[in-house]
């Protein structure tokens, strides 16, 4: 099974309702940074959980900000690169969470 499958999809964010144009690399809503637990490997849509992935933090890796998401349904934690169009305010807001 490939580690990455490019899946170009548009979607409506289930957390904030924003319409998101997918690029095939889009993993999360650029407005609120929420994601959805749908992949086992990126883009495969093979995960059955389907829970919302809450952004719980971020870290800097090799000069790139990486979001840390935790599934609200099953608790799994995953990391995903930020994208150029992501809300800086939402990213900064993660530092204010307990």
pLDDT of residue 95: 84
The answer to whether residue 2 scores a pLDDT higher than 90 is no
* Percent residues over pLDDT 70 in the chain: 97
Domain boundaries, the chain: 11-96
pTM for the whole thing?
A: 0.91
CA geometry: angle at 76 spanning 70 and 78, to 5°?
65
Looking at per-residue pLDDT, the higher value among 7 and 70 belongs to 70
Query: What is the average pLDDT score of the chain?
Result: 93
Average pLDDT, integer, range 5-15 = 94
Helices (H), 1-98: 88-93
């Amino acid at each position: 099974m490939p580690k990455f499958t490019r899946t170009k999809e548009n979607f409506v964010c289930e957390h904030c309702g924003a319409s998101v144009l997918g690029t095939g690399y889009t993993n999360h809503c650029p407005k609120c940074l929420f994601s959805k637990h749908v992949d086992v490997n990126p883009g495969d849509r093979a995960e059955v959980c389907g829970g919302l992935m809450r952004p719980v933090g971020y870290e800097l890796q090799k000069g790139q900000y990486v979001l840390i998401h935790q599934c609200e349904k099953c608790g799994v934690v995953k990391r995903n690169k930020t994208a150029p169009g992501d809300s800086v305010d939402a990213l900064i807001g993660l530092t204010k969470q307990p």
